[in-house]
Structure 1
Amino acid sequence: MTLHHVSYGDGTPVLALHGWTPDHRLMTGCLEPIFTDLPGYRRLYPDLPGMGQSPAGDIDSSDGILAAVQSFVDEQIGAEPFLLIGESYGGYLARALARERPDQVLGLSLICPIGTVVENADRTVPEHVVLRSEPGVVESLTEGEDFTELAVVRTATALAAYRKDVAPGLAIADTAALDRIERKRRLSVDPESGPVWTRPTLIVCGRQDSITGYEDTYVLLPHYPRASLAVLDVAGHNLQLEQPELFAALTREWLQRVADDAQGLPQPPTSG
């Protein structure tokens, strides 16, 4: 299966995997403003099977989606080292990809990732709250817009980003295929079942994320001894839309750690 994708820039490949139901625009919207000022990276943004413009075919599990991503890497990146970014469900896949390709992935960044608990109903999550709002935003929503379902920040800026980066993918997802795949959403091999992964890692969670939460990511830390974990206040599952400046700063710092590591600069110890 060939995944639809967009690509920007030249240099070290960066593979960005979006979450469940949206498409590649979820990732281009938050990452391209960062990479525009950082030359030397070739950013690859695929649509996962059943989402965006990538057909699901006969895929009926997360194992099938992961296999499609593996094929995409073989086709577009080959054996070249690359950076890996995943959001929510894409973060779950990214961890599995890092396990499968430990010597090829230079660094791993996880945005509001699914933690150790894959099934929604079993996760430890806070209640949905709204902490920042502007007058008239809710009233401006059109019929069927589900912006308020996840939004912790209800401002005109956050709504505009949601309409540009999230809503278009939601509108074209193959819901029948996703319902089929969701029955086998758990990967058959746990992403953390292999050796400890010792390259620069960033895990960014929203303190008010009512979808994946933040507590289920704590137990990941021993497996990623080079991980920075940031839990941002006033941020839900659309953290990148609600705290864009903090998200950009943390991502740039992670990119610098990856670059330093690749150049063989002295690194801090990974254990006490």
Structure 2
Amino acid sequence: MEIRVGQVAVHYVEYGTGRPVLVLHGAGVDHREAEACFESGFDGIAGMRRIYPDLPGMGRTSAPETLRSADDVLDTLLGFADEVMGGTAYLLVGHSAGAYYAQAMAERRPAQVAGLALVCPLLPGLRDVPEHRVVAGSGELGDDVFRGYFVIQTPEMLERYERHVAPAAALVDEAALERIGERWALTPDHAPAFAGPTVVVAGRLDSTVGYAAATDLVGHYPHASLAVLDDAGHALPHEQPELLRALLTEWLARVERLS
């Protein structure tokens, strides 16, 4: 499916009916990775309309010259949410750069967001990012991107990478991402912290964004749960799906209690 937001044609897929759940993927991939990682987390939960867009410049979503900063991407995502949700309060899930945008969306439109889930979030002021370390496997499977992304390097993880991650590389608009990346920091709007049910999940071995900065979010969000998972890197949703599912289930229960 496709919706036009300004000059951007946003491609997305959706499943199910009921309360909307907007899931945002990270940089350099497309909706297929988020779909592969989070659909299992919502499996068996009735009344969830899961929506997976391709972010601008990735997958089948365009990134015209008018998009020149992260602020422009954020405006596009807010416009997309306005169009697709139809005024219904929605759940917001983000992985990596998708989590960076999800935080800003929740703080700018708190009345429209019923709950916030941040997985391996990209954050300003990253610190104490560990060196990449393989904890399972020979370290010789796959290509350089796989070996630098996953800390669990088994044939099963390689199959997930080759099916859900690698195909997106050919669709990335590198020039657009470079243009936007030159102004990747969102402009602070000094809004109050999102006060709804929140969960933050980080990988202890995440060599892309680390986990230390994510722990600070517990003090920022008044109703946040935090989990730092060992034997998980930036590919945590692939590497620890059962733990992620349990954390999302608990988060959804908190959202339901406040509905």
Match of 1:266 in 2: none
- Residue 92 of structure 1 aligns with an amino acid whose one-letter code is Y
2:130 is paired with a residue whose SS is coil
Cα deviation digits, residues 111-170 of structure 1 (max 9, x gap): 1001232xxxx643011101111x5x734x3xx552001211011111111122211222
Aligned-pair distance for 1:70? 1.0
Distance 2:169 2:188 in 1: 28
Match of 1:69 in 2: 77
TM-score relative to the length of structure 1: 0.88
Aligned-pair distance for 1:172? 1.3
Match of 1:265 in 2: none
Q: Is 1:47 the equivalent of 2:51?
A: no
Distance 1:215 1:62 in 2: 23
How many residues matched? 251
Q: Is 1:138 the equivalent of 2:130?
A: no
List alignment gaps of at least 5 residues for structure 1: 263-272
Distance 2:205 2:146 in 1: 15
Cα deviation digits, residues 9-45 of structure 1 (max 9, x gap): 0000000011111101111001112223111011110
1:132 is paired with a residue whose SS is coil
Distance 2:169 2:159 in 1: 15
TM-score relative to the length of structure 2: 0.93
Contact map agreement 1:203 1:230 (CA 8 A) in 2: yes
- Residue 95 of structure 1 aligns with an amino acid whose one-letter code is Q
Q: Is 1:18 the equivalent of 2:20?
A: no
Match of 2:4 in 1: none
List alignment gaps of at least 5 residues for structure 2: 1-7
Match of 2:5 in 1: none
Q: Cα RMSD over matched residues?
A: 1.4
Contact map agreement 1:116 1:219 (CA 8 A) in 2: no
Seq. identity, %: 45
Q: Is 1:90 the equivalent of 2:109?
A: no
Query: Which residue, out of 10, 13, 25, partners 1:6?
Result: 13
Distance 1:205 1:170 in 2: 24
